[in-house]
Structure 1
Amino acid sequence: MNGLKASEVGFAMVLILLGSIVEGFGYGLSLGTKWPYTRNIVLLMVRGDPEAAHRVVATLVGLVALALVILAPGISTISGLILIVVTALFGMGTLYVLAGRAPAFVHGTHGLLAYGVFLIYLTGLAYPSLDFWTYLGAMGALHALLLAVFLGGMTTGQRGFGSAIGAFVQPKKASQWTVAAHISAGLILVATLGYMMPAYPIAFYLAVGQFAVGFLLFHAVSLKPKDPGIMVAFHQSMVLLMALAIVLVWR
């Protein structure tokens, strides 16, 4: 069981990072709006399409979750499987967001749910006797992190596929207002972790450093809106590290 839980945590992290690579290198609509598979999806994955790899890994996440439900049915394992199904459905919705046929809220919710999947299995592995939903309700640091995650997904969805946000001092369009909200959520996260010091020092320093990474990412999106590059994945990896630092109480 621990091996399956650890595998699920690893697959969930890989899935989130693959999603950021898809965004960073402009593969969001490489398979069009066809979902979940195309006839040659494995071949496309082998040839290096990260969107194809993203969907194959998502399938692995679902299969491991199903195995966990069969072997150890309970609130956490069943909740995890339900979260995966809902996340997958919103994943389909993100294709329509990028195609301009669905609101940015769908993209933000997809990112939020993806982190929910990661956290439910991480918590189950680290604290097997805890109820995840009770734990999540008591973790103010995770609330602040998940708010930033949601608004980060909203930022991607609001700007659309291959569109620049544009430099601004005062927001004038929806994508700029979303960026401003995302920055505010980042400040709330830093303030929350700072208030809780010295409980989560590594998470706090990562959150502070994330502002520099975010500035570089904004610059990359401005220069190459269709494929801003590796900074998207680096930005996402910092968020994953923050989540790990909070749940595992890294010092």
Structure 2
Amino acid sequence: MGSNIDHGVTEEAAYPGLDALPHAIEGEMTLAVRVIGWLITGMLLAAVVAGLWQGITGHQGLRTDVVNGLAVSEVGFAIVLILLGSIVEGFGYGLSLGTRWPYTRNIVVLMVRGDPEAAHRMVATLVGLVALALVILSPSVSTISGLSLIVVTALFGMGTLYVLAGRAPAVVHGTHGLLAYGVFLIYLTGLVYPGLNFWAYLGATGALHALLLAVFLGGMTTGQRGFGTAIGPFVKPQKAAQWTIAAHISAALLLVATLGWMMPAYPIAFYLAVAQVAVGFLLFHAVNLKPKDPGVMVAFHQSMVLLMCLAIVLQWR
């Protein structure tokens, strides 16, 4: 049996013209959400420990060791942040705090109780603070760009709440997802290839272009269908949500074709992309069966994208 969390957020007047969509819609605290929450907590702790280990064992000078340790933790935090976003979507917590942003007065209590949206916002704050520390300790194009991306991502994150409530266009949701992966990639590449200009690397890496296009259209798909609304089965698209997912599927196939064309440069990424197409169809059916909370498939879908990013940047073979 699941239980609802008392969010301290009143169900205010419904938005006009939105079929009485309340200001805040609480998600259900199920065993699956709790277990995933424990796993996410473990990942956060692992990111902290990895950063501490990198800093302690670096022996490159205090400032450099601190910067390297923070960079390692930041990559882990960025991964957790993306996964938390998928859990928020998958288990119906997208509007659990309403459209109040960035915080409610009891957000820390809600996070401790297991609300994924509260945790998502607090981890986003942590990512921002670490990024600020990196800019102060090691100002560079990459660290300044990373902090700038985080600020813009946060602003679009506020916009996603209005997308889910039907008051902003789906492109806001797609852009938010794209920026979130940009944050992850900029710190990952900075860690793997120190001193490399991220924007030059991104411009030269065609595999990432195809992947990020699919990410953007995936976010658009979520935004276009809205909160708790099924896309519906179709052969020929009849409505905007169906046209958007058709574009997303096309982008996924383009990614497979791109990685296949580049073989043997990114073999693991290619196999992951092929598998992701099947995962995507399973998620499509899950969304239609349970539009409000399609479940763990959303997190699994995002995990595959994260693995593809790692496979491309690290050139897994």
Q: Give the TM-score, by structure 2 length.
A: 0.79
CA shift at 1:207, angstroms?
0.1
In the other structure, the counterpart of 1:54 is 120
Q: Does 1:212 align with 2:248?
A: no
- Matched residue, 1:191: 257
Query: Which protein, 1 or 2, shows the higher relative CO under an 8 Å CA cutoff with sep ≥ 6?
Result: 1
Partner of 1:161: 227
| Corresponding letter in the other structure for 1:203 | A
Please state if 1:6 is matched with 2:72: yes
Q: Distance in 1 between matches of 2:295 and 2:288?
A: 12
Aligned equivalent of 1:224, options 249, 271, 290: 290
Q: How does 1:78-117 map to 2 (within 5 A)?
A: 78-117=144-183
**Cα offset, 1:38, TM superposition:** 0.5
Counterpart residue number, 1:126: 192
Q: Distance in 2 between matches of 1:5 and 1:181?
A: 35
Partner of 1:26: 92
Q: Is 1:64–2:130 an aligned residue pair?
A: yes
Q: Distance in 2 between matches of 1:212 and 1:143?
A: 21
Supply the distance in 1 between the matched residues of 2:141 and 2:282 (Cα, whole angstroms).
41
Task: Give the superposition deviation at 1:245.
Answer: 0.3
| Pick aligned residue for 1:77 from 99, 124, 143 | 143
Higher gyration radius (CA): 2
Aligned partner of 1:211: which letter? V
Q: Which structure 1 residue ranges, 5 or more long, are not aligned?
A: none
* 4+ residue runs over 3 A deviation: none
Deviations 1:15-50 (A, max 9, x none): 000000000000000000000000100110111100
Amino acid at match of 2:220: M
Aligned partner of 2:110 in structure 1 is: 44
Query: Residues 74-130 of structure 1, C-alpha deviation per residue, up to 9 Å, x if partnerless?
Result: 111000000000000000000000000000000000000000000000000000121
- Larger helix proportion, structure 1 or 2? 1
Note the C-alpha offset of 1:250. 0.7
CA distance in 2, matches of 1:101, 1:2: 41
Deviations 1:228-247 (A, max 9, x none): 00000000000000000000
Identity of aligned residues (%): 87
- Mapped to 2, the partners of 1:214 and 1:72 lie a distance apart of 40
Distance 2:227 2:88 in 1: 12
| Structure 2 equivalent of residue 179 of structure 1 | 245
Which segments of 5 or more consecutive residues in structure 2 lack a partner in the other structure?
1-66
DSSP 3-state at the match of 1:136: helix
What's the TM-score, normalizing by structure 1? 1.00
Task: Report the secondary structure of 1:234's partner residue.
Answer: helix
Distance (whole Å) between structure 2 residues aligned to residue 215 and residue 82 of structure 1: 35
Tell me how far apart the structure 2 counterparts of residues 189 and 78 of structure 1 sit (CA, whole Å). 30
Q: Distance in 2 between matches of 1:223 and 1:136?
A: 38
Aligned residues: 251
C-alpha displacement of 1:5: 0.7
Measure how far apart 1:2 and its partner are: 1.5
Q: Distance in 2 between matches of 1:113 and 1:195?
A: 26
Counterpart-to-counterpart distance in 1, 2:82 and 2:213: 16
Q: Matches of 1:132 and 1:202 in 2, distance apart?
A: 22
Aligned Cα RMSD in Å? 0.4
CA distance in 2, matches of 1:184, 1:168: 15
Measured in 2, the distance between the counterparts of 1:198 and 1:138 equals 17
